[in-house]
C-alpha cells in the first residue's frame, strides 16, 4: 500500500529533473524495474534485508505478514542505519535529502540529522488524519518541537520512539492528497502542528504499474464485467493488502452477500506466512458453500487483483472498503459509492472525513473484530446498487476535482513544482 505510491512519487520527481536513488532490498528490487525502464537514471542502493528473530526467512515486506509484525519489520529496517550512513559518507556527491515513509521515522530522522541533510516524510494520507494524530504532541507550551527538543537516539523498537515528534521535526511533509480535499485544514496543520509551511499535498499519486507474480488475469475480470448489462450494478468487496478477517466475519460477509442477491466481485487475501508461524486468528477463508450458491452472479478472486481497473468499470457501482487511504482514493477516483467498514489505525479518521466531512460514503460497519449482521449487510449491499445515492454523485464530482489537480497547472501539479524548486534551491 505504501511502496507503489512511493514509486509514483519518484516518477514525478524524476520527470521534473531530480536525481533519485532508491534504497531497496533484493526481493523488492524487481518491483522497481518498470520505473527504471522509464527513468534509467534512477539509481539503486541494494542492501541485504537485515535478519530479525520474529520475521521468517525470505520475507522483506509487510505484504506477507499480519499487521502485528509492523514493529518487527521497522526494527529490522532500522539496522540499515549504519550501511546507509557509510554509503553517504563515502559518496562523492551524496543526495541532499531523504524522502521516506513515515513508518521509518524512528531511524531515518536521526540519520538525516547525523548527515546534516533534509528529511521529508512521505505520508500516504491527508491533512485531516495527520492533524488529528500529531496535534497532541506538536507543541510544548508555545514552542513548536524542533531538533533541539527531540532525542536523536536511533530507536530499533518503534514502540519506544517518539515518532510523531520526529515527523513534526522533519524538514517537510508530503501528503498523498490534494489541496481541494485538504482545504483550510492544511493551513491549520502547517501553522498549528508543524509551525512552518513545508507541507505539500501532491496527490493523488496513482500506483506506478508493476509486474506482480501470481496476479489475476485482468482480461478475465474485465470480460466478466463487460457481460454485466447494467451500469453501477456490481458490488466490489475488498479490504486491502493487510486486513484479514476471522472465520466468523467471513461467514457473516458471505451470508450477507448471498442474501443481498447482488452481482459482486469479492477479493480475498492469500494466507500469510506470519500467521502460519502461529499468529492470531487469520482465516480469510471463504465458506465452502458460498461459491456454489452464488455461481453465475459473482467472482471470488484470491491474491492480487487489478483493483483500480475493476473500480473504474462502468458496471461497478459500490465498494465495501476498510477505508485504507490508497483504496479509498481509488474508489473516489472511480466515482463509486463507498460502503465504509473502518477497522483500525487511520481507517477511523478516513471514514469520518469521507462520511461526516465530505459526504461521499455510507457507514456499514466498524471495528476490526466486529461481526456484521448478515441481514443488515445484505440490505446495504442491495440498496447500494439498487437506487441513486447523493454520496455517489458527490464522489464523482470529487474524483473529477482530484484528477484536475494532477493535470498540468492543477493544484497538486503546482505543489510538486514548488517542492522541486525548494529542493533544488538549497
Task: Just list the catalytic residues.
Answer: 2, 101
Q: How many CB atoms lie within 10 A of CB 353?
A: 24
Question: Residue 123's closest CA among 198, 162, 175?
Answer: 175
- 149 — phi, psi (to 5°)? -105, 5
Q: Residue 45 is inside which H or E element, if any?
A: strand 43-46
Q: Residue 292 is inside which H or E element, if any?
A: helix 290-293
In whole angstroms, give the CA distance from residue 267 to residue 303. Answer: 7
Torsion of CA 256, 261, 262, 264, to 10 degrees: 60
Question: Residue 286's closest CA among 307, 265, 306?
Answer: 265
Please answer whether residues 269 and 232 qualify as being in contact, where contact means their C-beta atoms are separated by less than 8 angstroms.
Answer: no
Cα 273 to Cα 25, 145, 269, distances in angstroms:
19, 40, 12
User: What are 273's three cell numbers?
Assistant: 506466512
Residue whose grid cell is 464485467: 225
Say if residue 392 is preceded by a cis peptide, omega within 30 of 0.
no
| 182 Cα distance to chain centroid | 17
Please answer whether residues 381 and 318 qualify as being in contact, where contact means their C-beta atoms are separated by less than 8 angstroms.
Answer: yes
Any bridge partners for residue 237, and if so which? 266, 320
In whole angstroms, give the CA distance from residue 381 to residue 313. Answer: 18
Amino acid at each position: 500500500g505504501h511502496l507503489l505510491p512511493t514509486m509514483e512519487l519518484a516518477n514525478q520527481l524524476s520527470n521534473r529533473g531530480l536525481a533519485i536513488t532508491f534504497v531497496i532490498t533484493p526481493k523488492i528490487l524487481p518491483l522497481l524495474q518498470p520505473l527504471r525502464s522509464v527513468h534509467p537514471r534512477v539509481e539503486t542502493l541494494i542492501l541485504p534485508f537485515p535478519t530479525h528473530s520474529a520475521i521468517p526467512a525470505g520475507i522483506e515486506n509487510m505484504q506477507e505478514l499480519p499487521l502485528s509484525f509492523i514493529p518487527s519489520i521497522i526494527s529490522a529496517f532500522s539496522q540499515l542505519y549504519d550501511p546507509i550512513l557509510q554509503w553517504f559518507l563515502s559518496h562523492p556527491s551524496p543526495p541532499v535529502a531523504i524522502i521516506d515513509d513515515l513508518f521509518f521515522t524512528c531511524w531515518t530522522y536521526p540519520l538525516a540529522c547525523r548527515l546534516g541533510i533534509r528529511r521529508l516524510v512521505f505520508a500516504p494520507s491527508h491533512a485531516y488524519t495527520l492533524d488529528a494524530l500529531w496535534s497532541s504532541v506538536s507543541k510544548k507550551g508555545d514552542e513548536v518541537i524542533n531538533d533541539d527538543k527531540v532525542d536523536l537516539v536511533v530507536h530499533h523498537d518503534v514502540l519506544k520512539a517518539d515518532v510523531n515528534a520526529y515527523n513534526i521535526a522533519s524538514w517537510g511533509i508530503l501528503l498523498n492528497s490534494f489541496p481541494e480535499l485538504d482545504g483550510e485544514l492544511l493551513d491549520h496543520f502547517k501553522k498549528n502542528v508543524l509551525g512552518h509551511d513545508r507541507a505539500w499535498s501532491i496527490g493523488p499519486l496513482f500506483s506506478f504499474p508493476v509486474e506482480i507474480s501470481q496476479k489475476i488475469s485482468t482480461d478475465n475480470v474485465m470480460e466478466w464485467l463487460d457481460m454485466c448489462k447494467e451500469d453501477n450494478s456490481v458490488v466490489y468487496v475488498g479490504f486491502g493488502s493487510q486486513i484479514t478477517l476471522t472465520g466468523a466475519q467471513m461467514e457473516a460477509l458471505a451470508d450477507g452477500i448471498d442474501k443481498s442477491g447482488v452481482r459482486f466481485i469479492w477479493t480475498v487475501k492469500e494466507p500469510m506466512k506470519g500467521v502460519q508461524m502461529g499468529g492470531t486468528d487469520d482465516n480469510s477463508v471463504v465458506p465452502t458453500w458460498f461459491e456454489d450458491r452464488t455461481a453465475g452472479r459473482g467472482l471470488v478472486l484470491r491474491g492480487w487483483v487489478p483493483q483500480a481497473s475493476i473500480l473504474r468499470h462502468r458496471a461497478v457501482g459500490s465498494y465495501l472498503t476498510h477505508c485504507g487511504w490508497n483504496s479509498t482514493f481509488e474508489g473516489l477516483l472511480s466515482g463509486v459509492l463507498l460502503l465504509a467498514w473502518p477497522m483500525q489505525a487511520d481507517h477511523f479518521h478516513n471514514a469520518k472525513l469521507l462520511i461526516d466531512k465530505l459526504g461521499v460514503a455510507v457507514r456499514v460497519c466498524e471495528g476490526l473484530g466486529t461481526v456484521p449482521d448478515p441481514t443488515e449487510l445484505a440490505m446495504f449491499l442491495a440498496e447500494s446498487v439498487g437506487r441513486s445515492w447523493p454520496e455517489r454523485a458527490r464522489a464523482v464530482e470529487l474524483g473529477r476535482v482530484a484528477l484536475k489537480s494532477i493535470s498540468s497547472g492543477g493544484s497538486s501539479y503546482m505543489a510538486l513544482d514548488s517542492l522541486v524548486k525548494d529542493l533544488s534551491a538549497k
